């Protein structure tokens, strides 16, 4: 017994060091892989895409067994290979900033890593470049909010005046969104504030003679605020086998949509 124990502890030192070093490297790679997974999730990827990308990336740097679990707010990965043993990392993912362009870039990057076996430094540099890619300037975003509101006000049968009013309210909502974002209020509170103020402005603009129907103005703004990406993604998640995430995201999106419609309708009924 004593002898066995000794042989266990007097393992070949060089071998042990090599293994520890390999584990260190694996940890560093895994950290980058989780960065990619996190950014993907935040910019609006479906769960299956995130898990699939992580699996491929880990396989590309030599992991033999990869167990990934991702839900909407967390990623857990354990990889195993004889050279470095089992390595686990988890990542809490908070805050979403939908950006389909970034998602596309991340997707390309992960393909590139898998086919060209980028080094750690190259991966880092590419990630930094993606992080630095500018979003559309604030002016374009204001225009976007107005465009969406006005289009859907017309789409659902509003007059041209309604569309103009809805567009203007859309611009106000963009400013409001910026203020609320800076206070880091939760999504429901911010949706309620936005929708109540939107409803109020819609009612006021009809009273002031700009716009004819409170309903049509509000509908344009509702379409703007409704969580479209989570809704479509949650359905795709559920039917690709990621039921937990699908349900999580689905109920979140439905509650948000209800809160938004409620805010507008409540103000419209009160005025």
Partner 1 sequence: MDNVLQLAAAFSGSMGFALLFQVRRGKLLLASLGGLLAWAVYLALGPVISSDVPRFFIASVVLTIYGEILARVVKCPATLFLVTAAVPLIPGGSLYHTMRYFVEGDFAACSAQGLNTLLLALAIAAGMIVPTSLFQLIRRIRVWQAKKK
Binding residues (CB under 8 A) for partner 1: these are 44-46, 49, 98-104, 107, 135-136, 140-141, 143-145, 147-148, 150-152, 154-156, 215, 218-219, 222-223, 226, 228-229, 231-233, 235-236, 239-240, 257-258, 261-262, 264-266, 268-269
Q: At what angle are helices 243-270 and 187-207 packed, to 10 degrees?
A: 30
Nearest approach, Cβ of 264 to partner 1 (angstroms)?
Answer: 6
Which residue's CB is nearer to partner 1, number 69 or number 231? 231
CA–CA distance, 144 with 233 (Å, rounded to integer): 22
Helices and strands: H and E segment counts in the chain: 11, 3
Cα angle, residue 131 at apex, residues 126 and 137 outer, rounded to 5°: 135
Nearest approach, Cβ of 158 to partner 1 (angstroms)?
Answer: 10
What does the DSSP 8-state code read for residue 99?
-
Nearest approach, Cβ of 13 to partner 1 (angstroms)?
Answer: 42
Nearest approach, Cβ of 34 to partner 1 (angstroms)?
Answer: 19
Nearest approach, Cβ of 149 to partner 1 (angstroms)?
Answer: 8
Which of 234, 18, 36, 9 has its CA nearest to residue 124?
36
Which residue's CB is nearer to partner 1, number 89 or number 240? 240
Which of 180, 239, 241, 233 has its CA nearest to residue 72?
233
Type and span of the H or E element at 67: strand 65-71
Which residue's CB is nearer to partner 1, number 84 or number 221? 221
Which residue's CB is nearer to partner 1, number 32 or number 49? 49
Which residue's CB is nearer to partner 1, number 60 or number 141? 141
Which of 50, 29, 264, 260 has its CA nearest to residue 124?
29
């Amino acid at each position: 017994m004593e002898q066995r124990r000794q042989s266990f502890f007097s393992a070949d030192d060089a071998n042990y060091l090599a293994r520890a070093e390999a584990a260190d490297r694996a940890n560093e790679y895994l950290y980058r892989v989780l960065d990619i997974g996190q950014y993907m999730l935040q910019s609006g990827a479906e769960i299956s895409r995130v898990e699939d990308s992580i699996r491929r990336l880990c396989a590309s740097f030599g992991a033999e067994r990869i167990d990934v679990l991702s839900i909407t707010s967390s990623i857990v990965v354990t990889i195993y290979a004889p050279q470095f043993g089992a390595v686990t990392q988890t990542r809490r993912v908070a805050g979403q900033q939908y950006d389909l362009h970034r998602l596309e870039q991340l997707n390309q990057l992960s393909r590139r890593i898998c086919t060209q076996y980028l080094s750690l430094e190259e991966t880092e540099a590419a990630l930094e470049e993606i992080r630095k890619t500018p979003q559309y300037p604030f002016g374009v975003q204001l225009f976007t909010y107005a465009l969406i509101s006005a289009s859907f006000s017309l789409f659902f049968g509003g007059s041209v005046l309604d569309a103009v009013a809805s567009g203007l309210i859309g611009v106000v909502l963009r400013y409001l969104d910026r203020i609320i974002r800076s206070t880091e209020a939760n999504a429901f509170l911010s949706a309620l504030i936005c929708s109540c103020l939107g409803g109020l402005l819609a009612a006021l603009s009809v009273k002031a003679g700009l716009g004819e129907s409170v309903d049509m103005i509000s509908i344009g703004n509702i379409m703007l605020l409704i969580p479209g990406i989570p809704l479509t993604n949650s359905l795709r998640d559920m039917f690709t086998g990621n039921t937990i995430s699908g349900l999580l995201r689905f109920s979140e999106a439905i509650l948000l949509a209800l809160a938004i419609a409620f805010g507008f309708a409540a103000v419209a009924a009160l005025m």
